[in-house]
Amino acid sequence: MTVLVTGAAGFIGFHTSLALLDRGDDVVGIDSVNDYYDVQLKEARLKVLNQRDGFTFERIDIADREAVGGLIAKHGGITGVVQLAAQAGVRHSLIDPYAYTRANVEGQLVVLEACRKLEKLDHFVFASSSSVY
């Protein structure tokens, strides 16, 4: 299987990617690596993942239709999607509500629409929204 993991630099996305790689899947990870959480921590996680065979990473904002569409065109063999990317931090939504709607609403729509072009897609898991855990 080739699985797209959005939010791959986050805590859950990192561990999900590791588990998928450990079971033998290829993983295409994407993340905007924004600065809401410690960027150095996210970069350290990506460094670990990038050392693994079968892992490919692209720095993409899931709300960027062109970038997500390009990724789907480039990796058309994706058979599964784990959608974990989101703008976290409920209190932050009061400061920057547009970051929330961009990532958590528009980004979700962009990912779903892009998946319609994946002819081999068998599974889609959506476990993302603000502070899902």
**Whole-angstrom Cα distance, residue 79 to residue 115?**
10
If one counts every other C-beta atom within 10 angstroms of the C-beta of residue 45, the result is 22
80-98 exposure pattern, b = at least 16 Cβ within 10 A, e = fewer: bbbbbbbbbbeeebeeeee
The predicted structure's pLDDT at residue 17: 98
Residue segments in the chain with a per-residue pLDDT below the cut of 70: 128-133
Q: Which of 37, 91, 31, 33 is nearest to 55 (CA)?
A: 31
Please report the pLDDT score of residue 133 as a whole number.
Answer: 44
